[in-house]
C-alpha cells in the first residue's frame, strides 16, 4: 500500500528495506537523516528516533501512547489490516498495547510471575537445555561437517525456556517457532499472517483455560492467579501478554546469542580476552546488545499532541518508531568509536536495547540469564568454533523489526 503523504515532512523518507539486505547501510542512512528521521515502512510514513538522549526522554513522555486510535492513518482508514506490520501494533489487549494505570495493572501481574527468584530457580533447567543442545550441535558437526548454530542451538534454547516457563507441552515448541517465524517474515502473505495470528489466539486461549481449570507452577498460572495491582487479568489480557512475551522473548535471545558469537569470531583478539578471563561474558553481552541490537525498530507509539524533538516536531496523530540499532551507535552517547565493537570499553555500555521507562522489556533479565549461560558453555565446549562461510555471506531474514539471520553455519573443530 502507498500513502500519498509519505514524504510530506522531512524530505524524502529513508525506506526501511523489508528484505534487510544492507542493515549497516540502512542504520547509517537513518542516523544521517537526523534526530527525528522520516522513514517509510512498506509505504506507510513514520518517524524514527535516532539519538539515545531523545529516546530516553520520549520513552517516558506521556504524550506518546500505544493506543492505536491516536494514529491518524489508522482512524482515517489509510492503514488497515492489509498492512503487513499491523499485527505488531494491533496485537490485542496486553501490557504492550495500553498505557497509564491499565499498563501498570497488567505489568504488575507479569512482574509477579517473572521474578528474579523464579529466574534463579530455572537456572539449572537452562543449563540442562544448553548442555543437551550442545550435544546435538556436536553430533551434527562430527567429522568436520558444517552445522547450523541457529537452528540447532540458538533458536531452540529460548523457545524451550519460555515454553517451560509458560507450562507449554514441549511438543508445541516446534509449532510455535514455525508460527512466529512466518508471522515476522515479510514473505508471508498477509492473509496467511492473519490466519496464523488467529491460530495462535486459539492455542493460547486453550492453554489459559486449561491452566485456569488446573493451575500448575508456571508463568501462565501465575498470570491467572496474580492477586496484586487491581482487578484480575481477563482471559484476553493473559492471552495477549503471553502471545507478545513469547514473540519478543525468544526472538531477542536468538539475536543476542548469534550476534555475540558473530562479533567475537570477527574480533579474535577480543575473543581471546574473554576466553582467558580478562574480560567478562557480561561485558560481551552488554556490548553486543548495544552494537548489534536484536531488535532494530520497535513499532510504534503515537503522538497525542505536537512533540518537539531537537529542532524538529513530531506532529500530533503521527507514529514514531524507536530505532534501537541506530540509537546503540549514537556517538553522543557512546563516543566517536560507537560504530566499533569493543568489549573492553573504558565505561560500561549504557544502552537502551531493552527499552526504558514504563514499557521496558519485562524479559530483559531472562534474556541476559540465557545468554550468560549459553555463550560461555558454547565456547567452553568448542573453543575453536569458526564460521563455515565468510562473514559477508551471512544474510538476514526478511524481518523489518528484528536482526534475525537466516542461518549461522559453523565448523566446530572439537
At residue 223, the pLDDT reads: 86
Mean pLDDT of the chain, nearest integer:
92
Residue 382 has pLDDT above 90, yes or no: yes
Quick one: pLDDT band at residue 133, thresholds 50, 70, 90? very high
Integer distance in angstroms from the first to the last C-alpha of the chain? Answer: 51
pTM score above 0.75: yes
From 70, 32, 43, 99, select the one nearest 307 (Cα to Cα).
Answer: 70
CB 66 within 8 A of CB 97: yes
At residue 5, the pLDDT reads: 38
Give long-range contacts, CB 8 A cutoff, 24+ apart: 301-308.
301/58, 301/64, 301/65, 301/66, 302/64, 302/65, 302/66, 302/67, 302/68, 302/70, 302/71, 303/63, 303/64, 303/70, 304/63, 304/64, 304/65, 304/70, 305/63, 307/58, 307/61, 307/63, 307/64
For helices 235-266 and 268-275, give the axis angle rounded to 10 degrees.
Answer: 110
At residue 140, the pLDDT reads: 97
Specify the range with the lowest mean pLDDT, choosing from 22-31, 105-114, 138-147, 271-280.
105-114
Quick one: pLDDT band at residue 9, thresholds 50, 70, 90? very low
Residue 143 is inside which H or E element, if any?
none
Respond yes or no on whether the N-terminal peptide bond of residue 300 is cis (omega within 30° of 0).
Answer: yes
DSSP state, residue 81: T
Residue 281 has pLDDT above 50, yes or no: yes
Q: Write out pLDDT tens, residues 142-167.
A: 999 999 999 999 999 999 999 999 99
Q: Write out pLDDT tens, residues 32-71.
A: 999 999 999 999 999 999 999 999 999 999 999 999 999 9
Quick one: pLDDT band at residue 111, thresholds 50, 70, 90? confident
Q: Write out pLDDT tens, residues 204-225.
A: 999 999 999 999 988 899 888 8
At residue 114, the pLDDT reads: 74
CB 129 within 8 A of CB 161: yes
Backbone angles phi, psi at 26, to 5 degrees: -65, -40
From 152, 139, 104, 102, select the one nearest 261 (Cα to Cα).
Answer: 152
Which are the contacts of 326, defined by CB distance < 8 A and separation ≥ 6? 27, 30, 31, 48, 50
Backbone angles phi, psi at 275, to 5 degrees: -70, -25
User: For the residues 106-128, what does the mean pLDDT come to?
Assistant: 85
Amino acid at each position: 500500500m502507498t500513502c500519498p503523504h509519505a514524504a510530506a515532512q522531512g524530505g524524502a523518507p529513508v525506506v526501511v528495506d523489508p528484505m534487510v539486505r544492507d542493515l549497516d547501510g540502512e542504520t547509517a542512512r537513518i542516523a544521517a537523516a537526523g534526530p527525528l528521521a522520516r522513514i517509510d515502512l512498506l509505504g506507510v510514513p513514520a518517524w524514527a528516533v535516532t539519538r539515545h538522549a531523545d529516546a530516553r526522554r520520549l520513552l517516558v513522555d506521556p504524550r506518546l501512547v500505544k493506543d492505536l486510535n491516536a494514529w491518524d492513518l489508522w482512524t482515517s482508514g489509510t492503514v488497515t489490516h492489509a498492512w503487513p506490520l499491523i499485527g505488531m501494533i494491533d496485537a490485542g489487549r496486553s501490557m504492550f498495547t495500553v498505557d497509564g494505570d491499565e499498563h501498570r495493572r497488567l505489568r504488575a501481574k507479569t512482574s509477579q510471575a517473572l521474578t528474579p527468584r523464579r529466574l534463579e530457580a530455572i537456572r539449572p533447567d537452562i543449563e540442562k537445555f544448553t548442555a543437551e543442545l550442545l550435544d546435538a550441535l556436536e553430533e551434527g558437526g562430527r567429522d568436520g561437517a558444517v552445522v547450523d548454530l541457529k537452528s540447532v542451538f540458538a533458536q531452540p534454547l529460548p523457545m524451550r525456556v519460555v515454553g517451560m516457563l509458560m507450562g507449554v507441552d514441549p511438543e508445541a515448541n516446534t509449532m510455535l517457532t514455525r508460527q512466529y517465524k512466518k508471522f515476522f517474515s515479510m514473505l508471508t502473505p498477509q492473509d496467511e499472517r492473519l490466519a496464523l495470528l488467529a491460530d495462535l489466539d486459539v492455542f493460547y486461549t486453550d492453554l489459559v483455560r486449561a491452566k485456569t481449570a488446573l493451575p500448575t507452577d508456571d508463568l501462565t498460572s501465575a498470570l491467572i492467579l496474580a492477586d496484586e495491582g487491581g482487578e484480575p487479568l481477563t482471559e484476553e489480557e493473559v492471552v495477549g501478554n503471553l502471545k507478545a512475551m513469547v514473540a519478543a522473548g525468544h526472538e531477542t535471545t536468538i539475536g543476542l546469542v548469534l550476534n555475540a558469537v558473530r562479533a567475537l569470531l570477527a574480533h579474535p583478539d577480543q575473543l581471546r580476552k574473554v576466553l582467558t578471563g580478562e574480560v567478562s561474558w557480561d561485558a560481551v553481552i552488554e556490548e553486543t546488545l548495544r552494537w548489534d541490537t536484536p531488535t532494530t525498530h520497535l513499532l510504534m507509539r503515537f503522538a497525542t499532541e505536537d512533540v518537539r524533538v531537537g529542532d524538529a516536531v513530531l506532529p500530533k496523530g503521527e507514529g514514531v518508531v524507536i530505532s534501537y540499532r541506530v540509537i546503540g551507535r549514537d556517538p553522543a552517547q557512546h563516543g566517536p568509536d560507537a560504530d566499533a565493537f569493543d568489549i573492553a570499553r573504558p565505561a560500561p555500555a549504557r544502552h537502551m536495547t531493552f527499552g526504558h521507562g514504563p514499557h521496558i522489556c519485562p524479559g530483559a533479565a531472562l534474556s541476559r540469564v540465557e545468554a550468560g549461560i549459553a555463550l560461555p558453555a558454547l565456547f567452553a565446549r568448542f573453543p575453536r568454533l569458526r564460521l563455515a562461510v565468510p562473514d559477508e555471506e551471512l544474510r538476514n531474514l526478511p524481518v523489518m523489526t528484528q536482526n534475525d539471520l537466516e542461518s549461522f553455519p559453523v565448523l566446530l573443530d572439537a
